[in-house]
């Protein structure tokens, strides 16, 4: 039996090079050795206010991007989260077992709620986000979850909830583990290289979007913030340079040592020019493949409908087991 993996990205904004290098690009690798379940987690996206038209478009765009990145709907279960009602049902049940104290300690909640305008209220969905993430993972009895460091606290909570439920009602859930990707790296904002490149950041000048035009990508990389040391080193005193080196290394499949050797005699202008080249070499073909998938909406619909059907087949037995253990009449 292959181990099962679950992961997802929220369509809360246009996907960035950070989402790609930290997650999406690595996902196809798992298809051969694992039983993989990948979702466009639109229920998570509405924890922050969304424009319905944009959310709809982005959900389909992301589906096309997942496939363009190499996720094969025949080898993986690829689906849209809101089409599988079991996620919200299990989320409620887990929310009844999660404690206010542990949820309020989540750093992502603190961070995202602090970004909400002071005159606006904080939606309780933002607070409950980790219980939905726990439901996503536990429904499929996933054993591995590829996550960035930023999500490890949520994964820990998922494990706690699974254990708490198992202890109270008998073994129900597998306890998932994080899969911290050795090929990934945290990608930082090009204008503010100590802040993570995030799709919902206000200032778009430091963010490279996967579907962005060539000219605009080149301009953003050329204007990325470096420093006045003028030397290419890989250290935390030069976060802008370090970030560019990481991007270059990942996209050219070189180690950091080899990358440093490559730029030994070169300056920041050459570094930026070469980063532009590797970014465009990767993104332009990805964009082309994505457009091809988007140009066939009938096929796209067949893919997500079939994906949701396959996801339900796995999710329903877990949810039924949970309901049965809780005493619900089935």
Q: List residues binding ligand AQP (CB under 6 A).
A: 9-10, 12-13, 16, 18-19, 21-23, 147-148, 150-151, 186-187, 196-200
Least distance in angstroms from the C-beta of 24 to ligand AQP? 7
325 Cβ contact partners less than 8 Å away, ≥ 6 residues apart: 169, 170, 172
Is 22 or 28 the residue whose CB approaches ligand AQP more closely? 22
CA terminus-to-terminus distance, the chain: 29
Residue 8 β-bridge partners = 39
Closest to ligand AQP by CB, 66 or 165: 66
9 has which bridge partners? 40
Please identify the residue of the shown chain whose CB is closest to the bound ligand AQP: 22
Nearer to ligand AQP, 76 or 198 (CB): 198
Alpha-carbon distance of 160 to 96, in angstroms, equals 14
**Shortest distance, CB of residue 6 to ligand AQP, whole angstroms?**
11
Minimum Å distance from CB 22 to ligand AQP? 2
Burial letters 142-180, b for 16+ CB under 10 A, else e: bbbbbbbeebebbbebbbbbbeebeeebeebbbebebbe
Nearest distance, CB of residue 178 and ligand AQP, angstroms = 10
Q: Calculate the CA dihedral of residues 311, 18, 180, 158 and round it to 10 degrees.
A: -50
Name the phi and psi angles at 179, rounded to 5.
-115, 100
Is the Cβ of residue 124 or residue 295 nearer to ligand AQP in the bound state?
124
| Residue (185 or 314) nearer to ligand AQP, CB | 185
CB of 16 to ligand AQP, least distance (A): 6
């Amino acid at each position: 039996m292959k181990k099962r993996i679950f992961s997802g990205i929220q369509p809360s904004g246009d996907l960035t090079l950070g989402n790609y290098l930290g997650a999406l690009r690595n996902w196809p690798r798992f298809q051969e050795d694992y039983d993989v379940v990948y979702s466009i987690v639109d229920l998570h996206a509405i924890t922050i206010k969304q424009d319905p038209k944009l959310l709809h478009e982005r959900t389909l765009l992301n589906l096309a991007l997942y496939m363009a990145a190499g996720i094969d709907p025949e080898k993986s279960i690829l689906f849209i989260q809101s089409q599988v009602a079991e996620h919200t049902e299990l989320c409620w049940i887990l929310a009844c077992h999660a404690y206010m104290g542990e949820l309020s300690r989540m750093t992502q909640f603190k961070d995202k709620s602090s970004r909400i305008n002071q005159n606006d209220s904080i939606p309780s969905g933002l607070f409950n986000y980790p219980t939905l993430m726990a439901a996503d993972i536990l429904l499929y009895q996933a054993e591995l979850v590829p996550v960035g460091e930023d999500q490890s606290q949520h994964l820990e909570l998922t494990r706690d909830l699974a254990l708490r439920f198992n202890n109270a009602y008998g073994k129900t859930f597998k306890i998932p583990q994080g899969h911290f990707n050795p090929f990934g790296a945290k990608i930082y904002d090009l204008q503010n290289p100590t802040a993570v490149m995030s799709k919902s950041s206000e200032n778009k000048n430091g963010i490279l979007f996967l579907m962005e035009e060539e000219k605009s990508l080149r301009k953003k990389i050329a204007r990325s913030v470096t420093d006045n040391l003028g030397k290419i080193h890989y250290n935390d005193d030069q976060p802008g340079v370090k970030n560019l080196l990481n991007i270059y290394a990942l996209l050219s499949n070189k180690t950091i040592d080899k990358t440093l050797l490559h730029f030994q005699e070169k300056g920041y202008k050459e570094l930026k020019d070469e980063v532009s080249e590797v970014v465009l070499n990767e993104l332009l073909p990805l964009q082309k493949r994505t457009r091809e998938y988007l140009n066939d909406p009938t096929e796209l619909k067949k893919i997500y409908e079939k994906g949701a059907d396959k996801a339900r087949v796995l999710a329903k037995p877990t949810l039924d087991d949970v309901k049965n253990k809780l005493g619900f009449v089935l």
